[in-house]
Amino acid sequence: MLRPISWIALVSLLALSSRAISYDWLLLTALWLALAVAAGVWAIQQPWVKEAKRPFERHTSIALSILLIPILAYIVALVSGVILERISADRYNNARVEFMTDPDGFPFIKNFALEHYGAHVVLTSPVSGWATSSFPLPHASAAFMAIGPGFCELTLNPRNVLRGFSGDDPRPWVKGVMIHELAHCLDISRDMPSFTNNKIGIKSIAPTAAGNVVDLEGHIEAANGLATKRWREALADVFAVGYWRMVEPSANKLVADLKEKRRNGATAHTTSCWIQYAANAPLPDNLSSLPSWADEIRTTAHCALQHKRS
């Protein structure tokens, strides 16, 4: 049982090493040698090698196995990976084109952000969007907004955003995801310095870490802490809940789905306490007041930033 598993592991490591660990020739050479040794051991045990009548035939068969099996295994695995990458990228690009032209897709969040908050939202490039939203890598996500100089850059993979969604109409959910990401941009961007203004804010930093922020490096260090991650997710979720309650007839179902998702999600996303406050709080007078409304709930809700999951 261990032999085929070991062989699969060797082939996989060899194929992935050139993609994930670039230019590490020592590792690549070691894997090639290990695969060649495995191929030689396999060849020696084969009947057509053992039963060869002449030593030359036996030695040639073993040598060809040592040479060709690693090469063929590597090529097949590598080409298969390249083909799968191309299929994945094409699927993402097709979904991106549809997302750009769908009135409930990117045009919605672009117009919504500009009309209500004066924020400019752009869509990330096809290559960057695919690479950062299609693989379960660190800091990757099906949807997120990067903050640029004066704009918010949206990355969204519609297929992955809807993974696990069980409702009949996905449009309100996707809108809520975009609103959630917009809230992140509005929350964090007001704290960021610009080329003409060096002031650094701490509104997006958890109160437990804000006291240590005196410069940009301190701000970034605090932003990487679990408390600030949950603090930011809390505002974004509250913002989305407020939006749903103000415009979506199915708001109660959407909020319930969000609470369920957060209950089973990553530690930084355990925001059910804030979601419950947002679901019951009186709504603001208009959508333009959502940021201050979400700020108020995040600040006054009696929710623990250092919540430990059972």
**Interval 95-112: pLDDT, tens:** 999 999 999 999 999 999
* Tokens of residue 83, six digits: 């083909």
What DSSP element (H or E) covers 145? Answer: strand 143-148
**Interval 284-295: pLDDT, tens:** 999 999 999 999
Confidence at 309, pLDDT banded by 50, 70, 90: very low
Strand pairing class (121-123; 143-148): unpaired
Burial degree of 170 (CB within 10 A; 0-12, 13-18, 19+): middle
pLDDT of 84 reads 87
- 300 alpha carbon, distance to own chain's centre: 30
**Interval 233-271: pLDDT, tens:** 999 999 999 999 999 998 999 999 898 888 866 677 889
Confidence at 23, pLDDT banded by 50, 70, 90: low
Least confident of 134-138, 207-211, 270-274: 134-138
**Can you name the residues that pair with 144 across neighbouring β-strands?**
155
DSSP state of 152: E
* Tokens of residue 172, six digits: 């309100």
Percent of the chain exceeding pLDDT 70 equals: 95
